């Protein structure tokens, strides 16, 4: 009896999925796995899947990015470079200003837009009752191996899929630094941990000072195929 019930559930779910995919069953876009990601919509259980789909579909990624307030410009392709970039963007900022613009793959740009809207600003309002006005970073694209080793796997930075975030500035001028404030036990440390935890909803990998000493002064965030939140 249990086996038959299991297969009835599987068939029912499969039929529903096919109906949604074919357009026979009308569901809100945020609950349709095949609907484009809307950056402004509140994240839900399908957000991770929708972000993952962007990695192999430039047109779908561009559509998702257009739903954000992020300002970007197209970078020239460099197919013959040691670390080739195709379809890369220069992110110039959104509601939050940047210490400098950075180069990003489209999936990284979308993940950053999600992070800014659904993690960073809510955390600042929750802890400080004000907005973040600037994000300080240590860079994104760098044609190098992991930890700058002479050999081994390329870093996610080599494909513009990663960003290193060093700190934030609030509307009242307060500066919050990963290096200086992570070890403390105060509002700033609470804010940084809330940002780190929330970032894991937008990025596939988030590495903080809890990961190792190499990340003592920044959060490494990327949109690679591994999933780590630490």
The strands making up 71-74's β-sheet, listed across from edge to edge, are: 71-74, 89-93, 102-104
CATH number of the domain at 113, please.
Answer: 3.30.1380
Q: 175 lies in a domain?
A: yes
The residues that bridge with 205 in the sheet, in sequence order, are 222, 228
Backbone angles phi, psi at 138, to 5 degrees: -105, 5
User: Does 48 fall in a domain?
Assistant: no
Whether 36 is covered by a domain: the verdict is no
Tell whether 194 is covered by a domain: yes
Res 8: pLDDT: 35
In sequence order, which ranges of the chain are alpha helices (DSSP H)?
A: 2-22, 47-53, 58-65, 106-115, 121-128, 178-181, 187-199
If one counts the domains in the chain, the total is 1
* 96 domain residue, yes or no: yes
Q: Whose structure tokens read 């970073």?
A: 137
- Whether residue 45 lies inside any domain: the answer is no
What's the pLDDT score for residue 27?
80
**Average per-residue pLDDT for the chain:** 91
Supply the range of the domain harboring residue 163: 70-229
Is the CB of residue 159 less than 8 Å from the CB of residue 224?
A: no
For 132-152, how does the pLDDT look when each residue is reduced to its tens digit (9 = 90+)?
Answer: 999 999 999 999 999 999 888
pLDDT (tens, 9 = 90+) of the chain, 230 residues, equals 444 433 333 333 344 444 544 454 578 888 999 999 999 999 999 999 999 999 999 999 999 999 999 999 999 999 999 999 999 999 999 999 999 999 999 999 999 999 999 999 999 999 999 999 999 999 999 999 999 998 889 999 999 999 999 999 999 999 999 999 999 999 999 999 999 999 999 999 999 999 999 999 999 999 999 999 99
- In this prediction the pTM is 0.88
Contact yes or no for 96/214 (Cβ under 8 A): no
110 within a domain of the structure (yes/no): yes
Confidence (pLDDT) at 15: 44
In a domain, 167, yes or no: yes
């Amino acid at each position: 009896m249990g086996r038959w019930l299991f297969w009835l559930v599987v068939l029912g779910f499969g039929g529903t999925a096919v109906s949604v995919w074919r357009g026979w069953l009308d569901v809100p876009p945020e609950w349709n796995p095949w609907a484009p990601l809307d950056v402004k919509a509140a994240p839900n259980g399908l957000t991770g899947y929708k972000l993952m789909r962007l990695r192999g579909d430039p047109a779908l990624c561009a559509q998702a990015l257009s739903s954000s307030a992020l300002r970007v410009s197209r970078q020239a392709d460099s197919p013959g470079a040691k670390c080739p970039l195709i379809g890369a963007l220069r992110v110039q900022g959104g509601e939050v200003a940047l210490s400098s613009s950075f180069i990003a793959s489209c999936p990284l740009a979308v993940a950053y837009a999600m992070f800014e809207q659904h993690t960073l600003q809510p955390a600042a309002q929750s802890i400080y009752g004000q907005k973040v006005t600037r994000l300080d970073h240590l860079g994104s694209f760098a044609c190098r191996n992991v930890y700058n080793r002479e050999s081994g796997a390329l870093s996610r930075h080599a494909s513009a899929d990663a960003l290193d975030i060093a700190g934030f500035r609030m509307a009242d001028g307060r500066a919050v630094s990963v290096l200086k404030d992570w070890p403390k036990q105060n509002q700033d440390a609470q804010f940084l941990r809330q940002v780190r935890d929330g970032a894991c909803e937008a990025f596939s990998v988030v590495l903080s000072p809890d990961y190792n000493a190499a990340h003592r002064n920044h959060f490494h965030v990327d949109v690679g195929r591994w999933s780590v939140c630490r």
